[in-house]
Amino acid sequence: MENIKESMPYSVLMTVYKEDSEVWIKEAMDSMLEQTVPPSEFLIVEDGPIGEILEKVIDSYAGERPELFKIVKNEENLGLGAALRIGVEQCKYEYIARMDSDDISNIHRCEKILNFMAEHPEYSMVGCDCVEFVNSVDNITGYVRLPQDPEKVAKFAKKRVPIRHPSIMFKKSDVIKVGNYKPLRRSQEYDLVVRMLLAGMKISNVQEVLFYIRIGEDFYLRRGGWNKAKLLAGQRKDFYRYGFYSFPEFCMYACINIGMCMVPNFVRSFLYRHFLRKNKQM
């Protein structure tokens, strides 16, 4: 464990914006500070003014560990993709662990992913299996199991994003090599993954639940509507432009996305719960 910390120091990259919850931010930060292999840098991007309460929370952590924390303040809200782009550039270490301000990491998450990446140095990005929960980690609504073999990851990516974004750890140099995050406000991780795959980079997942994703009670509702349909179809068009899709593939997956967005919410929630999620750990 000590050898991994010395040979593979890593940065945590987290963004915060004004609508985030004080309680959830503390839970997220604590879960990273309590890692069995602790971070060597904790970089927080404040995406626009975040208000006095959240400023005090972050300042209290940074004040206790000034050698660990680095705070980057955006003058205005730029969106997640742009904030992450800035954060990647500012991170000191080659290995970067993403963290969302409302999720929770298992204390072994970074140790196990680092060990996995040490065993497979050819991998550029590694995530893990996750659970989704509402309000409390005891209230689990679904399990997300993702492929491990890089070839299966690439195949899975044709249909859906093959990682859970806040669970990943990646090599900074490889992300920079493909142009870093694009300044997108939605689905920026899917776009990054596709560009990495097109560059021949390998992506994998540790097939163990090491991350807890908080979802709201409006989770399925937010995945519907015409605006969401246009956004997803536009992203599939980007993938066609990149050369990731053939034209028939673009048409098929864009139509599937539009259909999922436009069906009634109770139908969409049924499809998610019964076909896109697992109701128990495997």
Q: Give the pLDDT confidence of 8-45 residue by residue, as tens digits.
A: 999 999 999 999 999 999 999 999 999 999 999 999 99
Q: Give the pLDDT confidence score for residue 276 in this predicted structure.
A: 66
Judgement on whether residues 134 and 28 belong to the same structural domain of the protein:
yes
DSSP letters for 166-199: GG-EEEHHHHHHTT---S-SS-HHHHHHHHHHHT
Tell me how many domains the chain contains: 2
Mean pLDDT, the chain, as a whole number? 92
Judgement on whether residues 271 and 175 belong to the same structural domain of the protein:
no
Judgement on whether residues 166 and 138 belong to the same structural domain of the protein:
yes
Residue 58 maps to a domain: yes
Residue 55 Cα to chain centre, angstroms: 23
Judgement on whether residues 74 and 103 belong to the same structural domain of the protein:
yes
Residue 146 maps to a domain: yes
Judgement on whether residues 80 and 176 belong to the same structural domain of the protein:
yes
Judgement on whether residues 25 and 131 belong to the same structural domain of the protein:
yes
DSSP letters for 108-149: THHHHHHHHHHH-TTEEEEEEEEEEESSSTTSEEEEE----S
- Per residue in 157-174, pLDDT (tens digit) is 999 999 999 999 999 999
Residue-number span of the structural domain to which 56 is assigned: 2-214
Judgement on whether residues 203 and 140 belong to the same structural domain of the protein:
yes
**Rounded distance, CA 157 to CA 28, Å?**
28
* H or E element in which residue 77 lies: none
Judgement on whether residues 62 and 117 belong to the same structural domain of the protein:
yes
Residue 282 maps to a domain: no
Judgement on whether residues 263 and 134 belong to the same structural domain of the protein:
no
Residue 281 maps to a domain: no
Judgement on whether residues 105 and 166 belong to the same structural domain of the protein:
yes
pLDDT above 90 for 257 = no
Judgement on whether residues 178 and 241 belong to the same structural domain of the protein:
no
Phi, psi of 9, rounded to the nearest 5 degrees:
-60, 150
Judgement on whether residues 59 and 161 belong to the same structural domain of the protein:
yes
Mean pLDDT in residue range 213-237: 80
Residue 182 Cα to chain centre, angstroms: 14
Kindly indicate the confidence band of residue 141, based on its pLDDT and cuts at 50, 70 and 90: confident
The domain boundary, picked from 165, 184, 214, lies at: 214
Q: What's 148's domain CATH number?
A: 3.90.550.10
The residue among 164, 157, 96, 160 whose CA lies nearest residue 130 is: 164
Kindly indicate the confidence band of residue 56, based on its pLDDT and cuts at 50, 70 and 90: very high
